Amino acid sequence: MATIQDVAKAAGVSVATVSRVLNNSGLVQEETRETVMEAIRALNYQPNLLGRNLRRMETRMILVLLPNISNPFYSRIVKGIEDVAHKNGYNIMLCNTDSDKMRERIYLELLKKRLSDGIILMASELSREELLELGKNYPVVQCCEYREDVEITHVSIDNYSAAKKAVNHLIGQGHKRIAMISCKNNFLSTVQREAGYKKVLEESGIEFDPDLLAYGDYGYKSGLRTAKQFLSMQDKPTAIFAISDMMAIGAIKAVRQAGLKIPEDIAVVGFDNINFASMCEPELTTVSQPKYDIGCYTMEFLIRQIKGESKSSQAIFLEHELIIRASTVK
């Protein structure tokens, strides 16, 4: 395997000159640069990027912590993060936490030991104190989920108004008995979506029925199971609002298995507008988040922090949209 010394000898220059060429220094004449590059190609020399980055006190690596790597919601967000990272010379490492604090802390050690230049947190389970310490010492951006009591830049949507828009749509279709499939967790989005659901009921003069609020785990099977519970009630709901598309698709399956029609008997609304939402039968009405843009903005703000261009925290809320399809309107 060729070394930098071999390249210098073949090109007839010093090791320092080869190093300046590799680092795109403007202190090398163009003729010399070409000679060095020819030697590099002839010897198939591969520079030691790890050593170079360590000397510069950078790794060009970004940690991306997400709670469930199998959730299709995250795929477009990660694509946005990765595209912006690559354009700026960074790579990303996906870290699946399973919403486990201990796993998060293990990954954070990589950042603290300077094996990463920054970190993106999706649905972190860390305490307020831990997040404050993290934000004070390292480049950090919260993506989608965030804590309101922590001054760390976050990129998200207004989940409260998005949920209100979804439930108002159902009420506009004449529904008054509206069930909700939520999740039991500490995510701010869950709290805000439940609050939006209840607020619209209140504004419409509909009394909140706790029996119409049930909990899944964002997955298809939990939506199927929870919807079956609603369908076993004597006074069935005429509409179901789920806080994730996968649970909503599970609910659609349960309604169809019960021999009921959608949306004539029961309407269904989801959240996130994943690809499957337009593939199921009937196609799912859902709140669309700009997932790719969320990823892009998140990475852009992290790079600004890494470069020292942004020191104050910022709250970025991107636009959402209610996509109306056949699961609510015939």
pLDDT digits (tens, 9 = 90+) for 253-310: 999 999 999 999 999 999 999 999 999 999 999 999 999 999 999 999 999 999 998 7
Give the CA count within 13 Å in the CB-facing half-sphere of 142. Answer: 30
pLDDT tens figures, 200-254: 999 999 999 999 999 999 999 999 999 999 999 999 999 999 999 999 999 999 9
Query: Could you please report the per-residue DSSP string of 158-207?
Result: -HHHHHHHHHHHHHHTT--SEEEEEE-S--HHHHHHHHHHHHHHHHTT--
Residues 179 and 269 both lie in one domain: yes
Structure tokens at 271: 């959240």
Among 127, 126, 150, CA closest to 315? 150
Q: What DSSP designation does 256 have? A: H
- 169-178 core/surface letters (b: 16 or more CB in 10 A; e: else): bbbebebeeb
Q: What DSSP designation does 63 have? A: E
Do 66 and 95 contact (CB within 8 A), yes or no?
A: yes
Q: Structurally, how many domains does the chain consist of?
A: 3
Any domain includes 89: yes
CA 89 to centroid of chain Cα atoms? 21
pLDDT classification of 29: cutoffs 50, 70, 90:
confident
Residues 192 and 80 both lie in one domain: no
What's the whole-model pTM score? 0.82
pLDDT of residue 3: 83
Three-state DSSP state, 316: strand
Among 33, 71, 80, CA closest to 301? 80
Any domain includes 53: no
Residues 175 and 248 both lie in one domain: yes
pLDDT of residue 52: 54
Q: Round to whole Å and give the CA distance between 314 and 301.
A: 9
Structure tokens at 206: 């509909």
Residue type at position 231: L
Average pLDDT over residues 63-74: 93
Residues 284 and 174 both lie in one domain: yes
94: β partners:
64
Is residue 98 pLDDT above 80, yes or no? yes
Residues 166 and 147 both lie in one domain: no
Residues 106 and 135 both lie in one domain: yes
Domain, as residue range, for 108: 61-157+291-319
**CATH for 12:** 1.10.260.40
pLDDT tens figures, 32-60: 888 988 988 888 887 765 555 545 557 89
Residues 117 and 174 both lie in one domain: no
Any domain includes 12: yes
Among 230, 243, 324, CA closest to 73? 243
Residues 80 and 132 both lie in one domain: yes
Residues 43 and 125 both lie in one domain: no
The CA–CA distances, whole Å, from 205 to 155, 176, 208, 296 equal: 34, 9, 9, 41
pLDDT of residue 223: 98
Q: Round to whole Å and give the CA distance between 177 and 240.
A: 9
Q: Round to whole Å and give the CA distance between 313 and 295.
A: 17
CA 145 to centroid of chain Cα atoms? 8
- Decide which of 29 and 245 is more confident: 245
